[in-house]
């Protein structure tokens, strides 16, 4: 190819695409809104699945490097009651196939694998318009523009590229999360650290729950999940840390102190994260010169598949372009057909884990799912 591939978004999917293209000698440019690689925390742990996330890293030639990032013992899962009593404890016996690795370190691995200058930081895309014949003009917040050939939107839930292909918009699913972090947990937050254990914790009740996991370096990363209408936070100043903390912990009144401390003792300001999804089965007709991957294409509620699918999208699109370097439209068509079928299969097999965690039968519904037993009527 003589025309570089332009990728909007330096998330895992976009970076895997850039890396696979680089492996095959194809130039790519990635435009990213964030000013630098370390401008913000890059989420928590990711469990990489063999057929998607791990396969993508193999295609990128980075699987052995990835293995060095794996945190041992993190495939441990514990379910607690509101009083802190253990309802289920599944230790990591070393036979799991979905190892956990820090998302930020995985992203840095991908960044380090690309030639200098591949990622253009501080380039926030504000608009994209079609020019015809598969070419597009990309506009940035600083007023600059660039005309590009093959264009890939890997820019997440609120993609600026998606409107070229689809009128679909993300919709709120009725659940929001408030994210917190406790550092140096074994020394400074020992009771909470003991409650969480070696891996992941689920402390659940109807309409609310605490999801926490132990990251590297003694960090506890927690999401307080709440089933709330959008009005619950729409007119609330969520930037006020103390007020947001007080409002959230009120929803867990009477819970064990080692659990509520995951909210109240946060070493970072709490961050509200409403959960949005695109319609199930989201697809579009082929539009010359442009496509999507990851959350820009198939945003779903967190279910352990999102990052894995995004990485698989990036790897398979990169391979398709490498296989058809003189026929980009054939490559984009193959990518979309494969992605639509793959996502449809995942959606059909979705056990609705995210909703089950805090449904009206919580925590018993999750216990039944995790143990393969029938939920008592």
> Binding site for FAD, residues?
47, 103, 295
What is the per-residue burial (b if ≥16 Cβ within 10 Å, else e) of 275-288?
Answer: bbbbeeebbbeebe
Answer yes or no: are the C-beta atoms of 328 and 33 closer than 8 Å.
Answer: no
Cis peptide before 363 (omega within 30 of 0): yes
Please enumerate, by residue number, every residue annotated as part of a binding site for NADPH: 40
Please enumerate, by residue number, every residue annotated as part of a binding site: 40, 47, 103, 295
**Intra-chain end-to-end CA distance of the chain, in Å:** 61
d(CA 240, CA 249): 14
Q: Let me know the angle formed at the C-alpha of 181 by 272 and 104, rounded to the nearest 5 degrees.
A: 90
Half-sphere exposure of 288 (CA within 13 A, CB side): 9
Give every strand in the sheet of 135-140, ordered side by side. Answer: 125-132, 135-140, 145-148
Placement of tokens 């599944």 in the chain? 90
The helix/strand count (H/E) of the chain reads as 14, 17
Biggest alpha carbon–alpha carbon distance for the chain: 64
DSSP assignments along 223-261, one per residue? EEEEE--THHHHTS-TT-HHHHHHHHHHTTTTS-HHHHH
Helix/strand/coil for 127: strand
Helix/strand/coil for 173: strand
Residues written for the chain: 377
Helix/strand/coil for 222: strand
Which residues lie below 8 Å from residue 87, measured CB to CB, with a gap of 6+?
79, 80, 81, 363, 367
Sign of CA dihedral 153, 176, 211, 346: negative
Sign of CA dihedral 6, 10, 13, 15: positive
């Amino acid at each position: 190819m003589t025309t570089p591939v332009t990728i909007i978004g330096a998330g895992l999917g976009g970076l895997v695409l850039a890396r696979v293209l680089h492996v095959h000698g194809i130039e790519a440019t990635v435009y990213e809104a964030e000013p630098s690689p370390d401008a913000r925390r890059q989420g928590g742990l990711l469990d990489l699945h063999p057929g998607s996330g791990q396969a993508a890293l193999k295609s990128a030639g980075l699987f052995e490097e990835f293995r060095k990032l794996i945190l041992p013992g993190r495939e441990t899962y514990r379910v607690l009651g509101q009083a802190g009593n253990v309802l289920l404890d599944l230790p990591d016996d070393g036979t799991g196939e979905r190892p956990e690795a820090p998302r930020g370190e995985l992203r840095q691995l991908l960044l380090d694998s690309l030639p200098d200058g591949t990622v253009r930081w501080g380039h926030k895309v504000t608009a994209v318009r079609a020019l015809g014949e598969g070419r597009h003009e990309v506009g940035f917040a600083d007023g600059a523009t660039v005309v590009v050939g093959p264009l890939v939107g890997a820019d997440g839930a609120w993609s600026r590229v998606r409107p070229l292909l689809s009128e679909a918009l993300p919709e709120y699913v009725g659940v929001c999360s408030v994210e917190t972090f406790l550092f140096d947990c074994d020394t400074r937050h020992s009771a909470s650290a003991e409650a969480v254990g070696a891996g992941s914790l689920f402390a659940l009740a109807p309409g609310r729950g605490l999801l926490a996991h132990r990251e590297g370096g003694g960090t506890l990363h927690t999401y307080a999940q709440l089933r709330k209408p959008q009005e619950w936070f729409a007119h609330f100043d969520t930037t006020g840390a103390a007020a947001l903390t007080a409002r959230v912990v009120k929803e867990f009144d009477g819970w064990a102190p080692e659990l509520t401390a995951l909210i109240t003792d946060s070493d970072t300001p709490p961050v509200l994260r409403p959960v949005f999804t695109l319609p199930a089965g989201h697809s579009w007709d082929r539009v010359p010169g442009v496509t999507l991957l990851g959350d820009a294409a198939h945003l779903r509620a967190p279910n352990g598949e999102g990052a894995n699918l995004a990485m698989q999208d990036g790897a398979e699109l990169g391979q398709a372009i490498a296989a058809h370097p003189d026929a980009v439209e054939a490559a984009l068509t193959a990518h979309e057909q494969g992605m639509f079928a793959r996502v449809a299969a995942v959606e059909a097999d979705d056990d609705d884990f995210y909703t089950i965690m805090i449904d009206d039968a919580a925590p018993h519904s999750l216990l039944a799912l995790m143990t393969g037993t029938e939920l008592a009527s």
